[in-house]
Every structure is written in C-alpha cells, then in structure tokens.
A = this chain, B = another copy of it.
Amino acid sequence: MSKRKLLVTGAAGRIGTAFIRAQRERFDLRLADIDISRLSDSTCEIVKLDVTDAASCLRACEGVDTVLHLAADASPHADFTTSLLPTNIIGTYNLFVAAKAQGCRRVVFASSAQAIEGHPLDVQVQEDMPTRPKNLYGVSKAFGEALAFFFAHESNLTTVAVRIANVAEFQAGERHSARDVAAFISERDVVHLLTRCVEADLSGYNVVHGVSDNRYKRLAIDQTRKILGYEPADDSFVILEGSVENAG
C-alpha cells in the first residue's frame, strides 16, 4: 500500500520538526515553509511556501491527501495588521481553499490552547466549549476553527482543529507555572496526537485537545481520546517530580 501523501506547512517550526523526525518513514511528506533553508538537511520533497500567496498554496496542495497546517505566527504578542492578518487569517483561508480545490481529503489545522485561554483558570475546558481568546493570536486561531467548520460543512473535506497547548520538554525538579504544567504536552505526545489526527477514521468537523496525560489538565481530553484513539504517554506532574512515587 502506498504511503499517505502529506503536505506539512510550517515544517521548519518546532512541532513540524518533531513530527517530521518521527514520521518521515510513515508518510510521503511534502515539507513547506517560508524559510526552506532550515529544511536543507531533509531528504523529503521541499517547497518554499508563503501562505499569503494563494497560487503557491494551490500548487503546494497538488496530489496531497492530507494537509497538516502548522504555518502561523505563533507569538502571543504578534501584531494583527502586519502579521496575524496575512499569515494566520488570509494564509489559513488560502490553505483551506487550496486543499478543497485540489481534492484533498483532510486538513488538520493547528489551533491553539490560546483560542480558549480566556475561560476561567479553574474551569477545565472541554472540546465543545466556545473559543475565548485572551490575545489576538488566539483570535486568529478562533477564526481558523470557524473556517475549519465551514469547509467541512460545504465540501467533502474532513477537518480537524487541534488546540495544541504547551509543547515543551520538562526536566525533573524544574519549576513552571501551574498553567504551563496543566497545559503541557510532550513532543512525543504531540507527534502521536497529530498522527492520529491524520489517520483516525473521521468525517466532518472535529475539534480536539493537545495536552499530555497530566494529572491536572487545563484542557480535557476525554472526547479527544474517544474520537482519535489518542493515548498520551506523559504526565507533566510525574516528569517534574522525578518519579511516579514522588508524585502522589
């Protein structure tokens, strides 16, 4: 059986790099980034992609089964007019339009925990809760989630919005804020999660949460486990406390 053809946008970023390193054999990868110099060591197909250019997005999606759309300005302090608007809003629109036009089957959209960060801190956010962004980056991700719903509704695209939280590598003994610990997701868990987003049997629009199996979770993953078969391996509390025994 031939491998699934994936377009990964923002391939040179942190999540893209981890995903590609782990899954380069599993998928037939087309790597896209605005700065392809950072991808020069790769043996995968590489395309330079500025997502603000609709024609380039169309070319990048040609022959692709699934788009893993990671490209974004991910700064919580990003300027709206000069960055979030072109990259996250127009760029995401261009990618969905291109994926639909090229007959892709699925778009996995990297949303963010920032899209829901405005819910009170003592509320565990469920997958079906409304977006509540505390910054304009989160607003741009809320827009992307709405767009993902629309495209699943009006075309044959299956879409998955993944509210990825705090991708980090914690070491035993480190101190982090309660929020960052509750929102932690390890690199191996985010790779597994995104792989399930690509491969799980889904249709229509789906929204899932990206945190590890942390003892306390800012975002619930019950629905995510159920629809994706997501099985996170890590727990930030165990990692920080150095052992399961000390974590009680």
Residues on A lying within 8 angstroms of B by beta carbon are 80-81, 85, 89-90, 93, 115, 118, 128-136, 138-139, 142-143, 146-147, 149-150, 153-154, 205
- The answer on a CB contact under 8 Å between B150 and A139 is yes
Q: Bound state CA distance, A150 and B132, in angstroms?
A: 7
With A89-B89, A93-B80 as contacts: A133 and B149 at CB distance below 8 Å: yes
With A89-B89, A90-B85 as contacts: A133 and B146 at CB distance below 8 Å: yes
**A90: chain B residues within 8 A (beta carbon):** 81, 85
Q: Find A142's partner among B93, B118, B146 (CB 8 Å cutoff).
A: B146
Q: Which 3 A-B pairs have the closest CB atoms?
A: A142-B146, A130-B130, A143-B143
**A130: chain B residues within 8 A (beta carbon):** 128-131
**A154: chain B residues within 8 A (beta carbon):** 134-135
**Chain B's nearest CB lies how many Å from the CB of A71?**
18
- The answer on a CB contact under 8 Å between A150 and B136 is yes
**A146: chain B residues within 8 A (beta carbon):** 115, 131-133, 138-139, 142-143
Q: Bound state CA distance, A147 and B149, in angstroms?
A: 18
For A85, give the chain B residue with the smallest CB separation. B90
- The answer on a CB contact under 8 Å between A134 and B153 is yes
For A136, give the chain B residue with the smallest CB separation. B150
Q: Bound state CA distance, A135 and B146, in angstroms?
A: 10
Q: List 27 A-B contacts (CB under 8 A).
A: A81-B90, A81-B93, A85-B89, A89-B143, A115-B146, A118-B149, A118-B153, A118-B205, A128-B129, A129-B130, A130-B130, A130-B131, A131-B131, A131-B146, A131-B149, A132-B149, A134-B150, A134-B153, A135-B150, A135-B154, A136-B150, A138-B150, A139-B143, A139-B147, A139-B150, A142-B142, A142-B146
**A153: chain B residues within 8 A (beta carbon):** 118, 134
**A150: chain B residues within 8 A (beta carbon):** 118, 133-136, 138-139
Q: Bound state CA distance, A136 and B154, in angstroms?
A: 10
For A90, give the chain B residue with the smallest CB separation. B85
**A143: chain B residues within 8 A (beta carbon):** 89, 139, 142-143, 146
Q: Bound state CA distance, A135 and B150, in angstroms?
A: 6
Q: Bound state CA distance, A131 and B133, in angstroms?
A: 13
Which among A90, A118, A154 has the highest number of chain B CB atoms within 10 Å? A118
For A204, give the chain B residue with the smallest CB separation. B118
**Chain B's nearest CB lies how many Å from the CB of A207?**
8
